Structure 1
């Protein structure tokens, strides 16, 4: 057996006292495809579970890629640029890697930026708006790594926000580009605040004016109504209102008690405003490039070219608006870490990361649950509460949830199996909160809640503390709470049988139980002396005796068939 120490190909760990990465001795005749496959594996897996620090792994990978640039430069650049949009949770890792490559080789940094710009334009043309938004964020993080100049980034931000001033476009278009800029500020806001404070303030004021045009329109409408102003057509054209008519249709609850149901862009603007008041200091994003500041600060920076969003076309479908789902607040988490506030930027960053994990692993419930529970820095947040809230937010997403109901149900089951000491209790608490708020809940969400809850009970022997919901028995039968219990039991009937469903509930709940689905033979209920009943009885007996099809047909011939009769010479047979 060979005693040679195996190479950790993923991490490319540096040995102590040696500035060269420990790499597998490459075969002299290693094929080009094998080399590119190895490099692709290293780039994709960087930052995953390893015995070494992330900074060490990034530095080692940068040296490996630098050594292979002569042979595989095009492939390396292509892989890195594709990973940026495919693995958004590694944004800071890839920006640090590009920063180190740019510090060692200015031309390679320029080629990477050029390809990223091309990808950004291609994503917009292909209507892949989420990937384009992630690239805007990545451009911001490249400013932190001294790859892109802050002036050229501000120019890009201004061009994107200027879309909100275009005429005759859907609001979803302007909302999207405003959101793209705002979502990059948690990463690069502090850098811009220190170097481009005046430009940043002007940009934020422009966004603020866009989001608050509702008030401006109301004010102008009062003026024109009072004075019969001849300039009202001009005002109507140039003062576009940020409308939120969709808000009522997309909210899960019709009441803002105890949690306001905020429109997603308004909520995000409140979070950015809170970050702005905190001098752009956040406490969630892990920034490995800070360890290489002495190297990156000496690198030459590139300027982004002038980028204009493509003009709107009638067939463009932009991301739909949403209403932010809130289920818990800090009072619901009595023990352990404090739940971030609804308008803290940490709440947004954590929730977005959890959404990424679900989107990446939704086809594999085991991996999805495992990755959710392996969330980085989970000891600093009430992770179970935030996972449950994010999953329910996707399940109740209107008008249609992103994935099938079984996806969320099976993932919650796996989470309960992997974390039996705490997560089932949090999930039960969430069910109680949802039940208490049923009277103001959207009816489509109530239906989804009943479908999931019945499925979940079927995997836990239908055990539940039904007596805690006995107050629902005193309500009107059409009230949402008794209707929810009735619908849940009906769904349980599909996953079990009537006798079992009746056993799981107290006797007081029997009035809400579904009727026993007994078969009904209309011939037995009719006059037993009738010809039809006699033939039916004979046919049943023949079938029990395992008669042949011919014998059964002979019995049926005893009945008169009106379709075989004729009227005025017309054949009525079908």
Structure 2
């Protein structure tokens, strides 16, 4: 890639030029109103402001843009309104452009001071509207016009931060340093709010942080000693803010977990509120001169802008002196309003709900910085800008990715390394910096790293990302498509960082990492350097629950869901390092084992055992069932094109098995179009009568399996097909499953079923057999099995606790082992949490996890493990082959996986009243290990 002057890129390098501009679409040129065309062009120019890599040319462009604005601003009302709206929108959505926007307003002020007067008044009114919305969060049109925040943007206080930055840049044309007074207002408010609270006050911390991070903007366009002195006074005032609650570890929302000191986490997460004031002091300097601001942070517009302003003033027919404007103080909400304020905005909510931590990906594996340190103002500022862009530009993911990619255009020329610089190149630069050959030292900061780390910070935000994760994944994909050669290695380093720290990563974040990795690989045509993980796969081959082996297995399972087994198999190759060998690629057959994504490790053994039990454990039938399964398995192993439907084994109609005639009747009944309820009741009675002739067969279990497996098999063409069948016969299946029938599902003439006389145990058994029957038919496609079961829950046929019970069955631990299970249970719980009785469901969930932890602890004690909580991390090849040793180590990992799962669900569903909290504590008190229990009980205090 050619790098423009000053190591900057133009925006056009990130634009999609796929559509030719010279196409004649054969239509007559439409007449456009000149005023409308002018508005469109001016607003487009404002939106693109600062996107010229050459500073001198950028200022010329801005001066050129100012001409039609000052000429027509007062004449065309629609133009004036559009310009003001555009300036405000850019300020909020693309705050990195604030300094360039301020230059436009300063130049306009020298040509026609009414333009800047309108701008300042408009921005002030927007700020006041946002503040007014704090006291009365309403969604009516008037409030929206005043600036009230919606649930889709960052929030009023976060947006006021960007307004403060803009007004700070306009301070040269505001009378009597009034902008400084606004900063003083907010700092005093933050100090008073925090002083009135015993613990941390989230809104006070946000106001304090936002005000301080905006403070240097006061000196962006005002280099005077008076402004510098005012800024020093503000810093002195900020010293009065007391940070409270900073001794709390906040373990519940930490991204990494040492597993009770079994591991050393990659870094200790830093609180944003702890970092801002020291970073300002460092920027201020010991001599309080702020020398690092100009040429080391902001673009130095002065040498280019001053001549333009001087010339404009000379030719100004109204005044040759610089006009300054008044700016009223803002009317702030009362302390009472702020303390009770429940923000709807996304970033405002982050501040009020939890202490905010910053996530790190880079600077942990290199001896030099590729992103500014979190302890520096630069590091905080660039992340802050990226968060605002991602949050407030979420309606346009393409634009968000472009703006993140060209963030460096808006700051000092040599602040970043040339775009696309490799780590090897930067290592050479670092070595020359250390040796003194580079004087002054050259930057090793990569704008790509800042962009990617900021997005990943939003993805890995705890307790919840601000937007659905897919939005951030998509932005990353767009960033990569815009400049794949420079971004792909950045992704690779991030992927390796997460993988290397999987053992310590929070349970929920491992799932998010798995999702991101799945999408990234699929967008790179399913290619990845799988050879990097071969040794781990071999080392952990007998550890089912080790995070790295589990990750590899589930990643491949998710990739198969997006493609097919044959395509993923073909990606398991690496380049042969030996140039003398004919074969250029080496097959990584180590990963072939993961192509089997079945629910249970030995699915054939499970199927044969399951079917034999269903038919009464008759040896004659067992031989038939085993033959059916092994014939199907052989077919699967010898075919590269077999479909998921061809993997199914439907045994009921086999002529060598009993009850095949009634099974065929059931098949014909279900495959036909809808039939009346009374006919289903007759069929139900026929099945019971037929099965009763075989005393070795469990009647109810066979009945449930026959009907539900038949539905699943007939509808196996697609999820839509099977769901349509179930939905068609909801009432019939509710009758069969023993649940209350939804009367609304009956029409006026329908036969109404008489409620079956079933005990609670019998109903529970039928519910469990429904789950088992779907697992049996779709054992080789877990995601299909779980989706079907979710629909059965939605239709009121299956009760959710029985799917959760199966997922937590300690004999299989599917919720830990299988990603399809984890995703399904999360969806089920999220849907159920809003319904009546959800408290009981969640308490049962916690109780089951605690019981599984205790059972695992008991297994470790029975195996005479000295300290069950001390994970064995290193073992010999001989130990790897020792089943007893591996089982003990695997149980240790299982123990901590369940602990991580418990933390994840406490975060998700831990909002409770006092009675609910007491119930959870009672459950946690049952933990049989004191150290583990104390650690988990501490989480309750953090909710």
TM-score range with shorter-chain normalisation?
0.7 to 0.9
Contact 1:366 1:414 (8 Å CA) reproduced: yes
Alpha-carbon offset, residue 516 of structure 1: 5.6
> For the residues of structure 2 that align with 1:331 and 1:267, how far apart are their CA atoms?
22
Residue number among 68, 77, 92 corresponding to 2:99 in the alignment: 92
- Cα deviations by residue, 1:311-349 (Å, 9 ceiling, x for unpaired): 242243244232111111186387xx9543332333333
Corresponding residue number in structure 1 for 2:297: 284
* Among 497, 511, 534, the residue aligned to 1:433: 497
Deviation, 1:79, is 4.5
Equivalent residue, structure 1, for 2:382: 350
Q: 1:158 to 1:414 in 2, by over 3 A?
A: closer
CA deviation vs aligned residue, 1:504-548 (integer Å, no higher than 9, x gap): 574488489743676959666413799996334653498599985
Query: Would you say the 8 A contact 1:485–1:512 is kept in 2?
Result: no
Mark the runs of 5 or more structure 1 residues left unpaired by the alignment.
Answer: 1-28, 214-240, 565-569
The reply to whether residue 65 of structure 1 matches residue 69 of structure 2 is yes
Instruction: Give distance in 2, aligned partners of 1:388 and 1:467.
Output: 27
1:526 paired residue number: 615
CA contact (8 A) 2:361 2:453 kept: yes
Give distance in 2, aligned partners of 1:82 and 1:370.
17
Cα distance in 1, alignment partners of residues 227 and 51 from structure 2? 35
Identify the residue that residue 16 of structure 1 maps to in structure 2.
none
From 358, 370, 373, the counterpart of 1:324: 358
Q: How many residues align?
A: 509
Equivalence map 1:47-446=2 (5 Å): 47-48=50-51, 53-72=57-76, 74-75=80-81, 76-77=83-84, 79-127=86-134, 128-143=156-171, 146-149=172-175, 151-163=177-189, 164-166=191-193, 168=196, 171-189=201-219, 191=222, 194-211=225-242, 213=243, 241=244, 243=246, 245=248, 247-254=250-257, 258-277=266-285, 279-280=289-290, 281-282=292-293, 283-288=296-301, 290-294=303-307, 296=309, 298-312=321-335, 313=337, 314-317=340-343, 318-321=348-351, 322-329=356-363, 332=366, 339-359=371-391, 362=394, 367-377=399-409, 379=418, 381-446=445-510
Offset at 1:92? 1.5
Return the match for 1:484 from 548, 551, 555: 551
Cα 1:472–1:253 change in 2 (3 A) is farther
Partner of 2:663: 539
Task: Quote the offset at 1:375 in angstroms.
Answer: 4.2
State how far apart, in whole Å, the 1-side matches of 2:269 and 2:108 are: 45
Does 120-129 or 78-87 show the bigger shift?
78-87
C-alpha spacing 1:111/1:374, structure 2 compared with 1 (3 Å): closer
**Shift in CA distance, 444/33, structure 1 to aligned 2, threshold 3 Å:** same
1:393 Cα deviation from its structure 2 partner = 1.0
The residue aligned with 2:852 is: none
Query: Cα offset for 1:154?
Result: 2.0
The separation in 2 between residues aligned to 1:350 and 1:547, in whole angstroms, is 61
Which deviates further from its counterpart, 379-388 or 442-451? 379-388
User: In the aligned structure 2, how far is the partner of 1:289 from the partner of 1:344?
Assistant: 25
RMSD: 4.2
Specify every segment of 5 or more residues in structure 2 that has no aligned partner in the other structure, as ranges: 1-31, 135-155, 259-263, 311-320, 410-415, 419-442, 573-587, 622-651, 690-699, 701-734, 737-752, 758-943
- Offset of residue 207 of structure 1: 1.9
Residues 68/270 of structure 1: CA separation in 2 closer, same or farther (3 Å cut): same
- Tell whether the 8 Å contact from 2:66 to 2:104 is kept in structure 1 after alignment: yes
Cα deviations by residue, 1:21-41 (Å, 9 ceiling, x for unpaired): xxxxxxxx9575555445434
Q: 1:130, CA displacement in angstroms?
A: 2.2
User: Could you tell me how far apart the structure 2 residues matched to 1:97 and 1:497 are?
Assistant: 55
Q: Which moved more, 1:497-506 or 1:198-207?
A: 497-506
Give the corresponding residue for 1:10.
Answer: none
State TM-score, norm by structure 2. Answer: 0.47
Q: Secondary structure at the match of 1:301?
A: coil
Q: Which digits, 9 at most, give the CA deviation of each residue in 1:19-77, with x for residues without a partner?
A: xxxxxxxxxx9575555445434433433459982211211222211211331365344
